[in-house]
């Protein structure tokens, strides 16, 4: 027995020595760049399922929760994070606008680590979870779907969705919801349904169509909310409980609904349409002779990504915009004043007047600065190279980046970096009314060639929703006796609490909408 314990002790000693040696080599390869180390990587299953533990697990939301604090502590806007299990992983995080711009501009040197985007490839390959020639092929087909004609349709359908909402609320002067997403999710779903598929959805839950087990709306909602469970759990486990079984059913039903829509549109008579779905199919057919078209499964996967990006991220951003306006009523008054000036008769002007809504856009931008939908964008280095930053003392620092190094574009830290933003933790929409704000330090839609194609889509939709809602209703935080003794700061902390799901997600935003006299 003694010799067995001796062997185990020896094996443990060798393992520990190997890990310590590996950690030392990793720090040395980065020229001992300031930073931290953990047992598990922030992209691991451990990080996804368990809370943060110092030196063990950074957690999957540390980019947003820590914001710029680790960089300030290190005195440098590029820092290291090294993990040891299952293998030693060298990762550097960036909150330096110039360094981030270099990474996003040099796609060949710093491509996406495709394995980290597996969660978005459940239905097949798509424009977000691809790189190189495949990404170029997908982008060539997808880009025409995001035209100015389509953005005009977004503007009109967002106005229609708000008109439907006001019709639902016409019999009440005060409406309270437990969570702001109860309002924003249906709004964005209505808009994406009309703009992406040319299909108008109602506020009322539709019946399940013949031959289906779930509606299109519910299947999309579940696949947005519970995507991580679908990724990590095998199908046999997803059949064990009703909730888990609903996730598997939603996955299958969403694919079936989208496939039926594709088949129906391909068979239907050709007529001019501006919706994304038709444009995508037409663009796919137009390049067929060049052999760069989508496979059927790729088309389904890319449509799913458009649904996900055009539905969930915008809904969460709008929810947080409502929360901030409720918490800062003086900003709500400023927004109302401009909207009234633009719309004295209460009628929304045409899409061409979007630029007039400067304060609505400023509210949107400041919300996305404080709560970037994707707080972190992963990249990797495919060659030995360097990046340059400056220390807190202003000294130039050249950081070695060995081949294979993981790179995190820490958008949350960039958005809270005091080098670029005065009082970065404060909600100050007016900062975006000035011309001198740093465009490279604001990248909620990412940056470079991989920047979001739907940026103008989201901006147009959000401006319409914010402007029309604020014109008719005052937004406030719903009073709750449980929190009667909380301070204003405690209320802000409670209402603005976020979690990291597929994107940055509000936990619970209780809102009350009061009709204006």
Gap between the terminal Cα atoms of the chain: 85
Phi, psi of 91 (to 5 degrees): -130, 135
Q: Pick the residue with more confidence: 246 or 460? A: 460
More confident residue, 230 or 252: 252
Question: Across 2-41, where does the E strand assignment appear?
Answer: 35-40
Average model confidence (pLDDT) across the chain: 87
- Looking at residue 440, its pLDDT comes to 95
Q: 26 in a domain, yes or no?
A: yes
Question: Which of the pair, 423 or 202, is modelled with greater confidence?
Answer: 423
Q: Are strands 385-390 and 498-500 parallel, antiparallel or unpaired?
A: unpaired
Rounded average pLDDT over 452-478? 96
Q: Give residue-wise pLDDT tens across range 286-298.
A: 555 454 456 667 7
Q: What number is the average pLDDT over the span 180-206?
A: 82
Cite the annotated binding site for heme by residue number: 452
Instruction: Tell me which of 429 and 57 has the higher pLDDT.
Output: 429
**pLDDT score for 425:** 97
**Nearest Cα residue to 101 out of 409, 357, 435:** 409
Within a domain: 408: yes
| C-beta separation of 468 from 360 below 8 A | no
More confident call, 211 vs 412: 412
- The whole-number pLDDT of residue 289 equals 47
pLDDT for the residue numbered 255: 86
CA separation for the pair 175, 105 (Å, rounded): 47
3 state DSSP class of 249 = helix
Put residue 263 in one of left, alpha, beta given phi > 0 → left and psi -120 to 50 → alpha: alpha
Tokens of 30: 């980065």
Q: Label residue 270 exposed, middle or buried (CB < 10 Å: 0-12, 13-18, 19+).
A: exposed
Distance between CA 273 and CA 500 in Å, rounded?
37
Please indicate, yes or no, if residue 340 is contained in any of the structural domains: no
> What does the pLDDT read at residue 293?
53
- Read off the DSSP letter of residue 352: G
pLDDT at 390 over 50: yes
Pairwise CA distance, residues 498 & 319, whole Å: 12
Structural domain span for residue 61:
1-104+377-413
Binding residues: 452
- Averaged pLDDT, 478-498: 93
Smallest CA-to-CA distance from 463 within 365, 337, 345, 375 is with 365
**Is 229 contained in some domain?**
no
**Interval 379-407 mean pLDDT:** 93
- Domain-embedded: residue 95: yes
Q: What is the C-alpha to C-alpha distance for residues 515 and 470, in angstroms, rounded to an integer?
A: 10
Q: Which of 143, 16, 185 is nearest to 452 (CA)?
A: 143
User: Which of the pair, 182 or 44, is modelled with greater confidence?
Assistant: 182
User: Average pLDDT, stretch 447-472?
Assistant: 94
Residue 20 pLDDT more than 70? yes
Of 257-266, 334-343, 385-394, 424-433, the poorest mean pLDDT is in 257-266
Whole-number pLDDT of residue 291: 47
Residue 485 resides in a domain:
no
Distance CA 76, CA 72 (A): 7
Which one, of 424, 386, 393, 392, lies nearest residue 407 by Cα?
386
Closest CA to 68 of 432, 411, 391, 408: 411
Is residue 180 included in any domain, yes or no?
no
Cα dihedral 212, 215, 219, 222 sign: negative
Among the ranges given (13-17, 23-27, 218-222), the one the predictor scored with the smallest mean pLDDT: 13-17
- Per-residue pLDDT, averaged over 366-391, amounts to 95
Closest by Cα among 42, 63, 62, 59 to 51? 59
Contact 357, 364 (CB under 8 A): no
Cα(76)–Cα(88) distance, rounded to whole angstroms? 23
Number of domains in the chain: 1
SS (H, E, C) 142-171: HHHHCCHHHHHHHHHHHHHHHHHHHHHCCC
pLDDT in tens, 111-149: 988 887 777 777 777 888 888 888 887 787 778 778 888
**CA atoms within 13 A of residue 190's CA, in its CB half-sphere:** 25
Residue 220, in any domain of the structure: no
At 378, which helix (H) or strand (E)? strand 376-380
């Amino acid at each position: 027995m003694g010799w067995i314990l001796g062997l185990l002790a020896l094996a443990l000693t060798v393992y520990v020595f190997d890990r310590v040696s590996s950690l030392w080599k990793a720090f040395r390869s980065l020229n001992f760049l300031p930073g931290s180390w953990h047992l598990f990587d922030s992209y691991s299953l451990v990080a996804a399922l368990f809370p943060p533990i110092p030196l063990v697990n950074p957690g999957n939301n540390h980019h947003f929760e820590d914001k710029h604090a680790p960089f300030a502590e290190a005195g440098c806007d590029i820092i290291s994070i090294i993990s040891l299990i299952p293998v030693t992983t060298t990762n550097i995080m960036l909150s330096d606008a110039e360094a981030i711009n270099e990474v996003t501009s040099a796609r060949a040197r710093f491509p996406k680590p495709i394995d980290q985007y597996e969660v978005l490839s459940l239905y097949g390959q798509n424009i977000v979870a691809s790189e190189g020639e495949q990404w170029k092929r997908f982008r060539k087909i997808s880009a025409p779907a995001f035209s100015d004609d389509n953005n005009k349709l977004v503007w009109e359908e967002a106005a229609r969705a708000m008109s439907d909402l006001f019709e639902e609320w016409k019999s009440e002067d005060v409406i309270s919801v437990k969570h702001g997403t109860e309002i924003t999710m249906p709004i964005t779903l209505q808009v994406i349904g009309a703009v992406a598929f040319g299909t108008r959805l109602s506020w009322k839950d539709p019946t399940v169509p013949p031959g289906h087990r779930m509606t299109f709306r519910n299947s999309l909602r579940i696949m947005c909310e519970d995507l991580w469970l679908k990724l990590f759990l095998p199908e046999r486990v997803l059949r064990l409980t009703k909730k888990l079984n609903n996730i598997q059913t939603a996955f299958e039903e969403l694919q079936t609904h989208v496939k039926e829509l594709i088949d129906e549109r391909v068979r239907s008579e050709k007529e001019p349409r501006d919706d994304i779905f038709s444009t995508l199919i037409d663009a796919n057919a137009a390049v067929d002779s060049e052999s760069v078209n989508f496979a059927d499964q790729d088309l389904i996967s890319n449509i799913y990504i458009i649904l996900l990006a055009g539905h969930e991220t915008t809904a969460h951003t709008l929810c947080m915009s409502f929360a901030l306006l409720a918490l800062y009523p003086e900003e709500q008054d400023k927004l109302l004043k401009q909207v009234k000036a633009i719309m004295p008769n209460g009628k929304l002007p045409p899409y061409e007047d979007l630029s007039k809504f400067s304060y609505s856009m400023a509210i949107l931008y400041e919300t996305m600065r404080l709560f970037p939908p994707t707080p972190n964008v992963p990249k990797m280095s495919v060659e030995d190279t360097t990046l340059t930053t400056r220390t807190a003392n202003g000294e130039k620092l050249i950081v070695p980046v060995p081949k294979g190094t993981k790179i995190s574009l820490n958008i949350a830290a960039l958005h809270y970096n005091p080098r670029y933003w005065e009082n970065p933790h404060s909600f100050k929409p007016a900062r975006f009314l000035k011309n001198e704000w740093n465009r490279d330090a604001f990248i909620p839609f990412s940056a470079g060639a991989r920047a979001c194609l739907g940026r103008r889509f989201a901006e147009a939709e959000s401006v319409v929703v914010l402007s029309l809602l604020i014109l008719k209703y005052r937004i406030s935080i719903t009073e709750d006796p449980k929190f009667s003794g909380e301070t204003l700061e405690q209320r802000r902390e409670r209402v603005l609490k976020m979690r990291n799901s597929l994107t940055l997600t509000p936990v619970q935003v209780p809102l009350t909408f009061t009709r204006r006299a």
